[in-house]
Structure 1
Amino acid sequence: MRSQRIVIVDDERSVRSGLSNLLQSEGYLTETFDSAEALLAVPETLDTSALLIIDIKLQGISGFALVEKLAQHAALPPVIYISGHGDENMHWYAMGTGALAFMRKPIHIDTLLDCIRQSLA
């Protein structure tokens, strides 16, 4: 069984720390990465992760490409995509990849927490 660890991948420090602090205050363990490459450098992270929150528009490898790479090597925990630049096409593409949710920044906190609770219940 996976722990209740949530991995956050976002190149904006304020988003990473804000989400991490929020989730920790709700009792979740968090691990943050500032890029797809940083997460890929520590593949064992997935073994202890219950959920991934991934920004789509990262510097370097995109969030979509990151999930494709991760899915090749391991059983993937549920994914919530976030983006400050999302449009309807990006939303439908994200959901088509099997994502749990696609949320535009600024993220509605209650919606995010409800989604996480339902996924990890």
Structure 2
Amino acid sequence: MREALQDLLASVGMDVRVFASTQAFMQAQRPDAPGCLVLDVRLPGASGLSFQEELPRAGVDLPVIFITGHGDIPMTVRAMKAGAVEFLSKPFRDQELLDAIDAAIERHRAQRRETALVAALRQRYAALTQREREVMALVSAGRVNKQIAADLGISEATVKVHRGQIMRKMQTTSLAQLVRFADTLGLSDSKP
């Protein structure tokens, strides 16, 4: 089955790596590119469902597609609750698998973009001074300059200077985008 899947995926230009066991997969170096895992529910010496649940703990964020000849509704529900992209019962059409793989790779691509964005935002946020962080938190909470000045015991002019620095360092020209950044960083619910 592995060889047939490898041939199918290679025939449409996909870069494919095949592993004989979960251990072989975990020991292998993974390419730094969007991808996915196609797993059978029954793996040599392991349960595909249990392996899926281990992946996040091992730092593996690849989307999973299950294929099986032995699936049932509880198994499908368990896989989907754990984040599987698709659960295909054998026999399935080649196009069903190819469509599922395309969806999984697109999901992984989006996850990687989001992860990169959050990392960049964290780096920019780390460059803010403590006072700028306080002002950013208050701005994202909807406070206006006059209120921020009163809250922090500083002048409105100083608040404006801090806001300008925050906008420059966070690389935004829009207050709405700054608030979205704060939300992405989880600052909306916390103190600076």
Normalised by the shorter chain, which TM-score bucket?
A: 0.7 to 0.9
Match of 1:33, SS state, is: coil
More helix, by proportion: 2
Same amino acid, percent of matched pairs: 36
Quote the RMSD (CA, aligned, Å). Answer: 1.8
Tell me the equivalent position of 1:6. Answer: none
Q: Could you tell me how far 1:117 is from its partner in structure 2?
A: 2.1
1:67-119 CA distance string (max 9 Å, x none): 22221121411110111111111111111111000011223211111122233
Shift of the 20–41 alpha-carbon distance from structure 1 to 2, 3 Å rule, reads same
Whose strand fraction is larger, Structure 1's or Structure 2's?
Answer: 1
CA contact (8 A) 2:67 2:88 kept: yes
Is 1:101 matched up with 2:101?
A: no
Unaligned runs of 5+ in 1: 1-14
3-state SS in 2 of match to 1:54: strand
Q: Does 1:39 align with 2:56?
A: no
The residue matched to 1:31 in structure 2 has which SS? Answer: coil
Give how far 1:47 is off: 4.5
TM-score, structure 2 normalization: 0.51
Q: Residue in 1 aligned with 2:35?
A: 50
How much has 1:120 moved relative to structure 2? Answer: 2.8
Tell which deviates more after alignment, 95-104 or 57-66: 57-66
* Structure 1 counterpart of 2:177: none
Q: Give the secondary structure class of the aligned counterpart of 1:80.
A: strand
2:74 paired residue number: 89
Structure with the greater alpha carbon radius of gyration: 2
Where does the alignment leave 5 or more consecutive residues of structure 2 unmatched? 107-192
**TM-score, normalization: structure 1?**
0.77
Aligned positions, number = 106
Q: 1:118 to 1:40 in 2, by over 3 A?
A: closer
